[in-house]
Chains A and B, each alone.
Chain A
Amino acid sequence: MTGTARLGYAINQWKPNFDDFTRREQHVRALKVIAACGFTGIELRAGTGRWDPLGRPASIAANYGSAAAFIQLLRQIGIEAVCSWYFDPGEPIGEELSPGRSVLDAADHKAIAESVKPFTEFLALSGGSRLVVRPLPSAWQTGELGAGALATAADGWNQVGAATAGLGVRVSLHADCLSAAADASALDALLEDTDPALVGLTLDTAELTLAGLDPVAVYRRHRDRVDHVHLKDTHHVDEAGERLRPHAEAAMLQAGGARGIDRWFCECGTPGGLVDFPALLHELRADHYPGWLVFESEQTPNPARSVMLNGWYARQVLRL
């Protein structure tokens, strides 16, 4: 679109459950589908354990021989880079005997910065440049956060950003719909308190929409900080505030909430989708956005279909 933006796909949609998508031939088929639809990067999601072979650099090495061997396979298939890796410090990491860490706890900051090093090294090796992180835990867990708590979190991300910067990888804050960061004032404060040289913002169109934020408005407000984009659509806004209720991960996202929603997210261009992608692309083009545009399709009933529909929309409608 600007001559520099590149198209990636988040491979997380192929793994809806912890014991799905474990075999190498399944990975190869997914990667070929992604490549066939014109995407040249993939985003991985951090995970743990033997049934998540793409969850950690060590797991990739165990399954593919080495990081280099996996990267070579990607390039044979037509994928140029692992453009980004999603990391939530709150998730357990069996390999580190960690039940999960909190960026709201300053005592955890050093361990979080240490924990992301292998991901950073892998990204640098594979042509990637973004460590996409969950900036704050779920809002129903944190309650309303004061300025002090947000400053603590920001300090933590500055430390992590400093740890990754040396390898050319930036930390990018990704506010999912349940995160306490999916709130205009909290997001403003986090970005105000973090170092723009070290920490950027991932704009996720559907997550923000579902949380009640307009992604185009968020982009306009923070355009100088957006260094990564997730593109997906949704038909829904959480007008009832279900994201703030206990166990929203299960009650809302998994079970569908009070409205019994089968699927919160959908492909770009789905009829009735709420995200104004042309408006966002207009803004990105105006700024000559140079980063990755990563398409996603969590909760899809058919991953290949979703990649194909997103690929069509990217090429035929967004002219990417």
Chain B
Amino acid sequence: MSALRWSYMDHWRADTPRGPMTQYGSRRLMDDFVKQVSAVGFQGLDMFDFQIYGLTQMFGSIEKYQEYLQDHGITKIVNLFRGIMYDPRVTDPHVRATHDEIVESTRRMLGMWENLQIENLIVMPASLYPDTAPVIDDKIKAAAECWNRVGEMSAGFGVRTTGHHEFFCAIRTERDILKFYEWTDPRYVSFFCDTAQHCIAGVDPVALYQQLHGRCSGFHFKDTREVDTTQAFAHRPDAELMAPQTARWFYEMGTEAGLVDFPRLMRALAEHEFTGWITVEHDKANIGGDYAESTALAMWYAKHVLAEVYS
């Protein structure tokens, strides 16, 4: 029996006669997407929480969509990524006055998914770095208070709230990340390790996992060829797509010149007897690449390289 199962985080684009489209555009595109993801061995699917609206229109309900996935070889929807656009006037973890809205809007969202067995609600635990700076302890404490409340609420749905630290997130350095987990309640807030994001931020994801393995509830396995050497994390209005350093930060694991040491990470997982889902992600793969190929290459790497270390 394998200790690990693989899930796919959806950022998919398909080439169509009318240009690139997501699979939410038509049932035919959805069929193709699900078949391709299933074909290479994924058993789970991760997605943004707001996709429930389009999926409900397409399938009648989110439960029927999961049944459809099961008919095509995908066991379940595993994790949701919370899609909140932070704004200090409305919803921003370091602004205490907005916490009620964050908690209640998240409660409403989780209510829509309550008939599924979602494992993690993945959140960016703070706003963009340039919208938060200077990052001081009180702002990290405020964010910790926010996610403690959300985590306690989500536990009622059987869902763990877990922090995912984008390289451009205000809580991005190793020191600040460790403070955040010191100030959050382990019962309510977990750590979600995104290998490429930490690497870009200059944080060794394996060392970070070693420190936080007891809090870790999942992974985004993706690679990068770049460490942020230009303070791209502070670039306004956006670092991910608009910073001058590179047009493409993310690649599939196993990519040539990739900076993440996945075999070492797998040894660490084995050491700590991690079991459960690992999510593969390679967002923005269509910038000079192709989602289908990146997905197949990533799973080739998982089956032929990583499985030799731990499976």
Interface residues of A (CB under 8 A from B): 25, 29, 32-33, 35-38, 77-78, 269, 271, 301-305, 307-313, 315-316
**3 closest Cβ pairs, A-B complex:** A308-B36, A312-B39, A304-B293
Instruction: List residues of B (273-311) whose CB comes within 8 Å of A's CBs.
Output: 290, 292-293, 295-297, 299-301, 303-304
Interface residues of B (CB under 8 A from A): 14-15, 28, 32, 35-36, 38-41, 72-73, 256, 290, 292-293, 295-297, 299-301, 303-304
Give the total number of A-B pairs whose CB atoms are below 8 A apart: 75
CA distance A35 to B297 in the complex (A): 9
CA distance A25 to B254 in the complex (A): 13
Among A303, A304, A309, find the residue whose CB has the most chain B CB atoms closer than 10 A.
A304
Given the contacts A32-B300, A33-B297, A36-B299, A311 and B40 also touching, CB distance less than 8 Å:
yes
Among A35, A36, A77, find the residue whose CB has the most chain B CB atoms closer than 10 A.
A36
Would A316 and B28 count as touching, CB distance under 8 A? no
Would A33 and B39 count as touching, CB distance under 8 A? no
Would B39 and A311 count as touching, CB distance under 8 A? yes
- Which B-chain residue is minimally distant from A37 (CB atoms)? B39
Would B300 and A309 count as touching, CB distance under 8 A? no
- What residues of B have a CB within 8 angstroms of the CB of A33 in the complex? 293, 296-297, 300
Please name 23 pairs of A and B residues whose Cβ atoms are closer than 8 Å in the assembled complex, sorted by A.
Answer: A25-B256, A32-B300, A33-B296, A36-B296, A36-B299, A37-B39, A38-B39, A78-B300, A78-B303, A269-B35, A304-B292, A305-B32, A305-B292, A308-B292, A308-B295, A309-B35, A309-B36, A312-B38, A312-B39, A312-B72, A312-B73, A316-B35, A316-B38
Would B292 and A36 count as touching, CB distance under 8 A? no
For the complex formed, measure the closest distance between the CB of A172 and the CB atoms of chain B, giving whole angstroms: 27
Would A308 and B290 count as touching, CB distance under 8 A? no
CA distance A33 to B38 in the complex (A): 13
Q: Which secondary structure dominates chain A's binding surface?
A: helix
For the complex formed, measure the closest distance between the CB of A129 and the CB atoms of chain B, giving whole angstroms: 25
8 new A-B contacts at CB < 8 Å, known A305-B32, A312-B72: A36-B297, A301-B15, A302-B292, A304-B292, A304-B296, A312-B36, A312-B73, A313-B35
Given the contacts A36-B297, A36-B299, A37-B296, A315 and B304 also touching, CB distance less than 8 Å:
no
CA distance A37 to B293 in the complex (A): 11
- What residues of B have a CB within 8 angstroms of the CB of A77 in the complex? 300, 304
CA distance A29 to B15 in the complex (A): 19
- Which B-chain residue is minimally distant from A308 (CB atoms)? B36
Would A302 and B290 count as touching, CB distance under 8 A? yes
- What residues of A have a CB within 8 angstroms of the CB of B15 in the complex? 301-302
Would B73 and A315 count as touching, CB distance under 8 A? yes
- What residues of A have a CB within 8 angstroms of the CB of B73 in the complex? 312, 315-316
- Which B-chain residue is minimally distant from A311 (CB atoms)? B39
Would A37 and B35 count as touching, CB distance under 8 A? no
Would B297 and A308 count as touching, CB distance under 8 A? no
Would A37 and B297 count as touching, CB distance under 8 A? no
For the complex formed, measure the closest distance between the CB of A314 and the CB atoms of chain B, giving whole angstroms: 8
CA distance A32 to B40 in the complex (A): 11
- Which B-chain residue is minimally distant from A269 (CB atoms)? B35
- Which A-chain residue is minimally distant from B38 (CB atoms)? A312
Given the contacts A25-B256, A301-B15, A32 and B35 also touching, CB distance less than 8 Å:
no
For the complex formed, measure the closest distance between the CB of B186 and the CB atoms of chain A, giving whole angstroms: 37
CA distance A308 to B38 in the complex (A): 8
CA distance A128 to B35 in the complex (A): 29
- What residues of A have a CB within 8 angstroms of the CB of B301 in the complex? 32
Given the contacts A302-B292, A316-B72, A308 and B39 also touching, CB distance less than 8 Å:
yes
